[in-house]
Amino acid sequence: MQKKEYAVEVGGKQLVAEFNDWADQANGSVLLRYGNSAVLATAVMGSKESNLDYFPLSVEYEEKFYAAGAILGSRFMRREGRPSDEAVLSGRIVDRTIRPLFPKGLKRDVQVIITVLSIEDYDTDILAVNAASLAIATSDIPWNGPVSAIRVGLEEGNDSLIVNPTYGQRQDELPPKARMDLTVSGKDGLVNMIEVNAREVPEPILEAALKRASEEIEKIQAWQKQIVAEHGKAKQAFKAPEITPEIKAAFAEVVEPKLRALNGTMSKEAFGEMKSEWATQSALKFPDTKPQMLDGYFEHRIDEYVHDLAIKENKRVDGRALDEIRPLSAEAGGISPIIHGTGLFFRGQTHVLAALTLGGPGDAQLIDTIEFQDTKKTFMLHYNFPPFSVGETGRVGGFNRRMTGHGALAEKSLRAVLPSKDVFPYTIRIVSECLASNGSTSMATVCAGTIALMDAGVPIQRPVAGIAMGLMSDGKTYKVLTDIQGPEDHHGDMDFKVAGTSEGVTGVQMDVKVDGIPIPVLVEAFAQAKKARLQILDVILKAIPAPRADISPRAPKILSTKVKVDQIGLVIGPGGKTINGIRERTKCDDITIEEDGTVFVTGKNGAAEAALKEIVDLTREYVAGERFEGPVVRLMDFGAFVKIGPNTDGLVHVSEVAPFRIEKISDAVSLGDVVPVIIKEIDEKGRYNLSIKAADPEWAGRKGLKPSSGGGGNHDDRRNNRGEHGRRRI
């Protein structure tokens, strides 16, 4: 085996690239380590041109269970199955970073596979980007790299930015809470991919974090370029197919008159009609030319048209100003009383319905991956994009990477404003149904999701809104567009989604079709996005000014109490007998006990109240002086045992029945009699001594009891005969 290592310090630790002969049949490969986390990246390019009308790049992010040093999976399946959501999102980060750097017109299959070999304190998604870059850059695959990635974190109450924070520094449940988790990719001072998960972080902090990230990226870039110079292979020659003068003339004849007739505007429908006519006419004129080439030229010319409108004329294809939002409308509730909360949000031709369901803690999703093991997820947002939303037919059901990515972005954008479990212990699931789409359904999902949360009575801190920003650039002039729609998204240079509240940003996702974007342009885009966000928030607050005071009557009720940790076993009982018995008797939906002794009871129609009462009574700690009414459960020669709790009884000595002498306890009470008692004392063994006469001195008289003929002696000599009775039974 052969190997050569290169190292650079990043964030106080060594980033080590090892080039070996493990995967020597791939075009390029590298083993990259950081701390105890490691990934293997391979890059392979197919030998033949595809007939597809797009670049066939695939990025696979493979999580191996052994990487966590654990046997994971389900009880019946102990090998890796479909990728986890985290793996899909990590693969998308790599794809969005490297894709813009391949030469335009390349149609050979390229596959990048990231295999996670080891994972501990550091997330391997950052390693994956840098490893993919090194694998491609040192291979013979044509590519305009390298490109580098870094993560920047920020903890609550600490102004110092953290380079490549650990998992512990990124958590947002236990103090110190992470306030921001920023992932950035870029090269040569430009940024080409951003992911942000934040808790209402102001834009100036994000600007500072981007600048710090760029500094670290350039350090890694210099390291990568050194490696490529020493270890890289010569690139295969690639030349994009040339468009003949005849094709250009045909376009001028068939399409350009229609473009001029649009007079600076172009609807989604007009675009479709022109594309359809060009496909028909060009196929007749050039039967020997690949349809993919003809379609590619059409897209290129429309791209030029859309860019020229914005850059040269400050115009947009639908006639709006560059910073103008399409017409907005919002509606809360009113869909069905069965759904716990709904939000309907329209932005132009983009329409999204968000439906929310509330459940108990037991409805949380259990996450068991190499990154997160035995973790409960109490907030879920699932995004659906059916084909009818864009006027097409197609497969319905299942999921794809786009749906997973858009849902994750909306989910993290809303998570920042959710109440703590102590305030609102519900499990929350939102489903986004994209009903019509003409640009940025993910940000419309954030808006509809906010409305659904407030309609359901979830006490969120503040409403969240999202907007998609775009960019048109010729390399020198940049024009930022607010609220991009279909053609601007398709032909623009940047898709920059920003979600947040009136106080700050909660989620960002950016990808580009060019090499990258200068940070000053991103700062301008952030400012323009904030202006749009505030406009959208006004519309949302007019539809529903605040979260509803009460949750839906159809939603389960959750009550809670806290028991001592050493009482958890008492509540559960042997083999779960006690807790299951409470469920069966009260008909409650669920009882969940946390490790700290917090008990959540979920139920409807009074079931939660009944179950909670049983648990409180079961774990109650009694004190002298408390009064009860309870049944007589056992008779002894020296007294009666009275039940004062589900598993607790105490002794009423015969001398404590009446203020006068009674000879036999059976003269005063019978089994099943309900009597008033007071706890007179709790002895050193934890046994309860009860008294009827102290609780109600008149009780014996009302019962018709009379003093015994034996006189006024006492019964103290019989107390020692009670043995181990009169204490809580566990």
Query: If you average pLDDT over residues 182-202, what whole number do you get?
Result: 96
Give 380-420 pLDDT, tens digit per residue. 999 999 999 988 999 887 778 899 999 999 999 999 999 99
In this predicted structure, the answer to whether residue 693 has a pLDDT above a threshold of 60 is: yes
476 compared with 539, residue with greater pLDDT: 539
Pull the structure tokens for residue 575: 């083999």
Give 444-457 pLDDT, tens digit per residue. 999 999 999 999 99
Give 112-149 pLDDT, tens digit per residue. 999 999 999 999 999 999 999 999 999 999 999 999 99
DSSP class of residue 687 equals B
What's the predicted TM-score (pTM) here?
A: 0.87
Predicted confidence band of residue 721 (pLDDT cuts 50, 70, 90) = very low
Predicted confidence band of residue 82 (pLDDT cuts 50, 70, 90) = confident
**Beta-sheet strand order (sheet of 341-347):** 328-332, 341-347, 350-359, 427-436, 379-384
pLDDT for 709 equals: 65
pLDDT for 66 equals: 92
pLDDT for 176 equals: 66
Query: If you average pLDDT over residues 655-662, what whole number do you get?
Result: 92
pLDDT for 710 equals: 55
pLDDT for 34 equals: 97
Residue 619's closest CA among 674, 672, 575, 582?
582
Give the chain's mean pLDDT: 91
pLDDT for 174 equals: 54
Residue 181's closest CA among 151, 202, 208, 224?
151
pLDDT for 436 equals: 96
Q: Collect all residues with Cβ–Cβ distance below 8 Å to 519 and sequence separation of at least 6.
A: 189, 191, 207, 210, 211, 214
In this predicted structure, the answer to whether residue 716 has a pLDDT above a threshold of 50 is: no
In this predicted structure, the answer to whether residue 722 has a pLDDT above a threshold of 70 is: no
Query: If you average pLDDT over residues 568-574, what whole number do you get?
Result: 93
In this predicted structure, the answer to whether residue 256 has a pLDDT above a threshold of 80 is: yes
In this predicted structure, the answer to whether residue 720 has a pLDDT above a threshold of 80 is: no
Helix, strand counts (H, E) of the chain = 17, 30
Give 44-81 pLDDT, tens digit per residue. 999 988 888 789 999 999 999 999 988 887 777 788 88
pLDDT for 175 equals: 60
Give me the residue label for tokens 């998992």. 167
Give burial (CB, 10 Å; 0-12/13-18/19+) of 464: buried
In this predicted structure, the answer to whether residue 573 has a pLDDT above a threshold of 60 is: yes
Predicted confidence band of residue 657 (pLDDT cuts 50, 70, 90) = very high
**Measured CA distances, 79 to 38, 66, 366, 369, 708 (Å):** 20, 10, 18, 12, 80
pLDDT for 25 equals: 97
Predicted confidence band of residue 712 (pLDDT cuts 50, 70, 90) = very low
Q: For the chain, what percent of residues have pLDDT higher than 70?
A: 96
Q: Cα(241)–Cα(233) distance, rounded to whole angstroms?
A: 24
